[in-house]
Amino acid sequence: MTDKPARTATAAPSDRALRPRTLMVRGGSTRSLNHETSEAIFLNSGYVFESAEEAEQAFIRQDGSRFLYSRYASPTVNMFEERLRLIEGAEGCRSVASGMAAVFAALMCQLRAGDRVVASRALFGSCHYIVAQLLPRYGFETVLVDGRDLGEWEKALAKGARAVFLESPSNPVLELVDIAAVAELAHAAGARVVVDNVFATPLGQKPLELGADVVVYSTTKHIDGQGRTLGGAVLGSAAFMKDELAPFLRHTGPSLSPFNAWVALKGLETLELRVEQHVRNAERLAAFLEAHPKIEQVIYPGLKSHPQYALAQRQMKNGGPLIAFAPKGGKSAAFHFMDGLAVIDLSNNLGDAKSLICHPATTTHSNLTEPERAALGISPAVLRLSVGLEDVEDLEEDIDRALAEI
Ligand SMILES: *Cc1c(COP(=O)(O)O)cnc(C)c1O
């Protein structure tokens, strides 16, 4: 196969002309000499050279025209990256072993000693750990702001920064950040904007179109969508990939396994169908919960009662697949309710076909102090519901029954 160059990271011209739904099914596909219909899983770590001279030339070129070693690139992983890149509309995409590896690499690859990082405070527990605990240990100055308050962003960015990091909607209580406005402030300060877009999914929000520079995903969530594999991805400009991310990944090695890449690649084929159903179910349950007498609070970007509803309408295509809500009666009511559920599973994972519920204060966000949680609106009663693909009537009845038992 040496006369036939391996696929490079750039899209075939035909890929660019195709519509998004077609790209979700076919984007990035390459066929081996066996003419398979479904994409093949290449579980090899190394590649063979025809001659010493060819190996020498390949290592001089380093242009992606041939595979060298699977830590750098491999066929199934490339297909996944290319399909996700086309769906996101980014110049480049690299995948890694988990969402946290993606967040860490996206930040760390561009930071230099003494740099400042400004981030919104409402972050997933491990994202918060990286920004608030880990980065300062290496001498980076990190500043956490109320992501909803443009004045706080402006003040924090006045001193300049290398990178801005935010989640919108945030995990778990669905706070939004005005991505376009923050991108403008960040760019004026010389900072790149990195957006964790997990809660919106690639179809519900387009951070790059809103002005962000880098998008990160935990592909563990709706991209796999069936709770099978861990994975992560980082998308951005060709220059960011080449100059910052690719060398960092190549030499630190958080590679995604080809098998996990294949599962996520096949997940992309049904992403739109699944996400549409997740969102339809979530919209219906959010309205149901809001009208329920035993519910204290519902937070869902698709509800008019969301404090940032106007922003949600502006930058998101829908309310998303996650809901936060609190039953009346504090932590014990929340625990009673969870223990009364018969269909919805208790799990700190999310983005599965199965509906999953968790109590963030005692699980995903238990590494924060009580005052930190309070500042983030994570009350002792608040629950995070990842709405699945089940019949929404069964979900509604399950919730109704469990609420009656409180
Ligand atoms: C789950 C999650 C992550 C981490 O992803 P993993 O694949 O579990 O490492 C990061 N950010 C958000 C918003 C998440 O929900």
Please report where in the chains the tokens 């809500």 appear, as a residue: 325
- Structure confidence at residue 367 (pLDDT): 83
Q: What whole-number distance in Å separates Cα of residue 167 and Cα of residue 123? A: 6
Selection from 357, 376, 352, 351 nearest residue 365 by Cα: 376
3-class state of residue 119 by DSSP: strand
Q: What whole-number distance in Å separates Cα of residue 98 and Cα of residue 83? A: 18
Please report where in the chains the tokens 């919960």 appear, as a residue: 289
The last residue of a domain, from among 251, 269, 287: 269
Inform me whether the pLDDT recorded for 5 exceeds 80: no
Write the pLDDT tens digit of every residue in 169-220.
999 999 999 999 999 999 999 999 999 999 999 999 999 999 999 999 999 9
**Average per-residue pLDDT for the chain:** 95
Inform me whether the pLDDT recorded for 351 exceeds 70: yes
Segment 43-49 long-range contacts (CB within 8 Å, at least 24 positions apart): 43/258, 43/259, 44/70, 44/74, 45/69, 45/70, 45/71, 46/70
Selection from 264, 193, 252 nearest residue 222 by Cα: 264
Chain centre to alpha carbon of residue 137: 25
Inform me whether the pLDDT recorded for 12 exceeds 80: no
Q: For residue 307, is the peptide bond before it cis, meaning its omega torsion is within 30 degrees of 0?
A: no
Residues 124, 109, single domain; the answer is: yes
For residue 389, is it within any domain? yes
Name the DSSP letter for residue 295: E
Residues 262, 312, single domain; the answer is: no
Write the pLDDT tens digit of every residue in 286-302.
999 999 999 999 999 99
Residues 157, 245, single domain; the answer is: yes
**Is 219:233 a contact under the CB 8 Å cutoff?**
yes
Inform me whether the pLDDT recorded for 20 exceeds 60: yes
How many angstroms separate the most distant Cα atoms in the chain?
75
Here the CATH number for the domain that contains residue 107 is 3.40.640.10
Write the pLDDT tens digit of every residue in 112-128.
999 999 999 999 999 99
CB under 8 Å to 205, separation ≥6 — which residues?
168, 179, 197, 315, 316, 317
Kindly state if the Cβ of 167 falls inside 6 Å of ligand 1.
yes
For residue 18, is it within any domain? no
For residue 61, is it within any domain? no
Residues 84, 233, single domain; the answer is: yes
3-class state of residue 46 by DSSP: strand
For residue 64, is it within any domain? no
Residues 249, 310, single domain; the answer is: no
Here the CATH number for the domain that contains residue 347 is 3.90.1150.10
Give the total number of structural domains in the chain: 2
Inform me whether the pLDDT recorded for 14 exceeds 70: no
Residues 349, 219, single domain; the answer is: no
For ligand 1, atom 8, name the residue with the nearest CA: 99
Kindly state if the Cβ of 124 falls inside 6 Å of ligand 1.
yes
Mean pLDDT (whole number) for 77-92: 98
For ligand 1, atom 1, name the residue with the nearest CA: 218
For residue 144, is it within any domain? yes
Under the banding of pLDDT at 50, 70 and 90, the label for residue 63 is confident
Query: How far is ligand 1, taken at its centre, from the CA of residue 60, in Å?
Result: 37
Query: How far is ligand 1, taken at its centre, from the CA of residue 99, in Å?
Result: 5
Residues 242, 283, single domain; the answer is: no
Kindly state if the Cβ of 352 falls inside 6 Å of ligand 1.
no
The last residue of a domain, from among 269, 303, 333: 269
Inform me whether the pLDDT recorded for 224 exceeds 70: yes
Q: What whole-number distance in Å separates Cα of residue 119 and Cα of residue 243? A: 23
Write the pLDDT tens digit of every residue in 352-371.
999 999 999 999 999 888 99
Selection from 308, 85, 357 nearest residue 179 by Cα: 308
Residues 263, 277, single domain; the answer is: no
Backbone angles phi, psi at 164, to 5 degrees: -120, 135
**Is 107:194 a contact under the CB 8 Å cutoff?**
yes
Q: What whole-number distance in Å separates Cα of residue 303 and Cα of residue 306? A: 6
Atom of ligand 1 minimally distant from the CA of 220: 7
Q: What whole-number distance in Å separates Cα of residue 275 and Cα of residue 94? A: 22
Inform me whether the pLDDT recorded for 148 exceeds 70: yes
The last residue of a domain, from among 235, 269, 303: 269
**Is 317:205 a contact under the CB 8 Å cutoff?**
yes
Mean pLDDT (whole number) for 210-234: 98
Q: What whole-number distance in Å separates Cα of residue 127 and Cα of residue 125? A: 6
pTM: 0.95
Residues 247, 306, single domain; the answer is: no
Residues 94, 219, single domain; the answer is: yes
Mean pLDDT (whole number) for 54-64: 93
Residues 217, 296, single domain; the answer is: no
Under the banding of pLDDT at 50, 70 and 90, the label for residue 153 is very high
For residue 31, is it within any domain? no
- Structure confidence at residue 6 (pLDDT): 43
- Structure confidence at residue 15 (pLDDT): 60
Kindly state if the Cβ of 220 falls inside 6 Å of ligand 1.
yes
For ligand 1, atom 10, name the residue with the nearest CA: 99
Q: What whole-number distance in Å separates Cα of residue 361 and Cα of residue 340? A: 19
Inform me whether the pLDDT recorded for 4 exceeds 80: no
Residues 240, 324, single domain; the answer is: no
For residue 132, is it within any domain? yes
Q: What whole-number distance in Å separates Cα of residue 328 and Cα of residue 283? A: 21
Under the banding of pLDDT at 50, 70 and 90, the label for residue 64 is confident
Boundaries of domain holding 130:
73-269
For residue 57, is it within any domain? no
